Amino acid sequence: MFDDTPYTPADLSNIRAVISTLPFMSESEAHDMNTAVNSGQCPTHIAPLYKICHSDADLYKKLLLDPFLLKYSVYGFFPRAYELTYLSDIRAEIRYEVRSRGHVTIITNQDSSLVIKPIQNSREAHVAGIASKLEESDLNNIPR
């Protein structure tokens, strides 16, 4: 049974490291994950974290029993989201929306909310880099 004990900093580091590599998953890793799901070896909601079963069996067992993972998916492990989902006495709600700039995940409780944009356009990092180099006077010249 899941004991409601928050994950250790080492657990969170391991989980977040796996999450950060999801957009770059190799075909081989995707095949292994899909095979594990299709064979019943890995529940669907844990599939993004399947890689952990090979590196930390105890953590993987904890993930298997975690009811919050079922509700919040990997989004519950994002730093601010973790506070809202696992550490707060007030349980958060999660919803998924499509907005003009793509899909977002919104986690809210009565005190705060958090918007997570899981996938960004491949050009956004480039555009953000250019924007970060603009002077304040340049920003005033951008049409609004």
Domains of the chain, by residue range, sit at: 9-140
pLDDT of 56 strictly over 90: yes
| DSSP state letter for 85 | I
pLDDT of 1 strictly over 50: no
Count how many residues are written for the chain.
144
Quote the pLDDT of residue 133. 73
Quote the pLDDT of residue 110. 87
Rounded to the nearest 5°, which phi and psi values hold at 108?
Answer: -135, 150
3-state secondary structure of 96: strand
Helix H or strand E encompassing 102 = strand 102-108
- Cα Rg, the chain, nearest whole Å: 18
- Select, from the ranges 9-18, 22-31, 101-110, the one with the highest average predicted confidence (pLDDT): 9-18
Quote the pLDDT of residue 5. 64
Cβ atoms of residues 55 and 117 within 8 Å: no
Sign of CA pseudo-dihedral 33, 39, 41, 44: positive
How confident is the model over 49-78, as a mean pLDDT? Answer: 93
Per-residue pLDDT tens digits for 24-45: 889 999 999 999 999 999 999 9
